[in-house]
Homo-oligomer: A and B are copies of this chain.
Amino acid sequence: MRRPAVTLHDVARASGVSISTASNALAGRGRVAPETRDRVVATAERLEFRPNALARSFVTGRSYTVGILAEHAPGTFSMPVLIGANSALSLSDLASLTYDAQNDPTLRREYLLRMRTRRVDGVIVVGQGPDVVYPSISHSFPVPVVYAYAHSEDPRDTSYQPDNVMAGRLATEHLIATGRTRIAHITAGSTLSAVRDRVSGMSAALAESDLTPAGAPLHGTWRRAWGAEAADRLLASGIEFDAVFAGNDDIAHGVRARLEASGRRIPDDVALVGVDNFNRLTRMEDRSLTTIDLNLPQVGAAAAEHVLAAIAGTAESGSFSVPPTVVPGRSTLGDIVPDDPPND
């Protein structure tokens, strides 16, 4: 059976103050003596008092609910952004309404309407990365709208993206730090901004170490098959290389398969870094591949925190990026990295 929730009345009584004084003390409003405020706050903590959201809503007119509009909710990259946003909101006691527009304008319009009628306190749009420009919906809402893993057509809108320039820089710096000097790059099409940004981060890191790349970047698709084909081309080109920075983990797996088939040892002959950290999302630790984690849950969480700050009136709009992280594995560090634990 449920223990009855602690009310403001309980806190006031246990603190020996009136309900309005207790309310002001906890809200940091009105004129309350510091020692009284401290006593009320300590009592509220001891009793595990949590304000009743329903009553709070009715007083403030706020719904304490944020709408999240995804274009493709079950997408590999959307999911961690959504989870990060949901978790960050919940930690601040804001509920969320999550809608999947499925790239359908009719559904998107319906969900925008629902969010308005639910009187959401803010909206997070979860898009499909830096190369899909989202129609700005900010004008439809009198509340803050933030784009996560997305940006809108309106440059005044606030967006949060992973930092792909830094991803390229971190991959390259890690390879240089582990002693590599001839680094090739195998990646997807050069029209993609994620690809261009990673190339530019790589170039900057190489230049700072007075290095040049091992050949021009090889541009293809995000797929394993392209990684294998490009590795063959690289081997056939005669260009010397002691490392490959692969545009994502799938490409890296294709590169690894073909290099190993040709007798190159990883990392002894060629070190290898990917991007995405797909394996680490599972609970099965697989540290065979060094990779760059774009920290997509943090992209969602940062967008959620921006919405919270904007609701409180303390946020500046802008385009923000979330730094990625190097996840070291055996493809650059060798046996220093422990074997994967069994996972049967």
Chain A residues in contact with chain B, CB under 8 A?
1-3, 5-6, 48, 50-54, 57-58, 61, 63, 65, 72-77, 79-80, 82-84, 86-87, 89-91, 93, 95-100, 113-114, 116-119, 128, 139-142, 188-189, 191-192, 219-223, 257, 261, 281-284, 286, 297, 340, 342-344
Q: Which of B75, B91, B283, B344 contacts A283 (CB 8 A)?
A: B75
Known A53-B118, A116-B5, A118-B53; contact A223-B284, beta-carbon cutoff 8 A:
yes
Across-interface contacts of A76 in B (CB, < 8 A): 281-283
Across-interface contacts of A119 in B (CB, < 8 A): 5, 52-54
Chain B residue at minimum C-beta to C-beta distance from A80: B74
A95 to B281, CA, bound (A): 26
- Give min CB distance, A20 to chain B, whole Å: 21
The answer to whether A283 touches B128, judged by C-beta atoms less than 8 angstroms apart, is: yes
Across-interface contacts of A48 in B (CB, < 8 A): 113
Q: Which of B3, B188, B219, B344 contacts A220 (CB 8 A)?
A: B344
The answer to whether B222 touches A284, judged by C-beta atoms less than 8 angstroms apart, is: yes
Q: Which of B2, B57, B87 contacts A73 (CB 8 A)?
A: B87
Across-interface contacts of A98 in B (CB, < 8 A): 83, 86-87, 89-90, 96
Q: Which of B5, B142, B281 contacts A2 (CB 8 A)?
A: B142
Across-interface contacts of A117 in B (CB, < 8 A): 5-6, 50-53
The answer to whether B191 touches A344, judged by C-beta atoms less than 8 angstroms apart, is: yes
List 27 interface pairs A-B (beta carbons < 8 Å), by A numbering. A1-B142, A2-B140, A2-B141, A2-B142, A5-B117, A6-B117, A48-B113, A50-B113, A51-B117, A52-B117, A53-B65, A54-B63, A65-B65, A65-B95, A73-B86, A74-B84, A74-B281, A79-B79, A83-B100, A91-B99, A93-B114, A96-B98, A188-B343, A188-B344, A189-B344, A221-B342, A222-B284
The answer to whether B73 touches A221, judged by C-beta atoms less than 8 angstroms apart, is: no
Across-interface contacts of A95 in B (CB, < 8 A): 65, 95-97, 118
Chain B residue at minimum C-beta to C-beta distance from A94: B97
A54 to B1, CA, bound (A): 27
Residue with the greatest number of chain B CB neighbours at <10 A, chosen from A87, A342, A344: A344
Name 12 extra pairs, CB < 8 A, besides A3-B116, A93-B97, A93-B114.
Answer: A2-B116, A6-B117, A53-B118, A54-B61, A73-B87, A77-B282, A83-B100, A87-B99, A90-B114, A128-B283, A188-B344, A219-B344
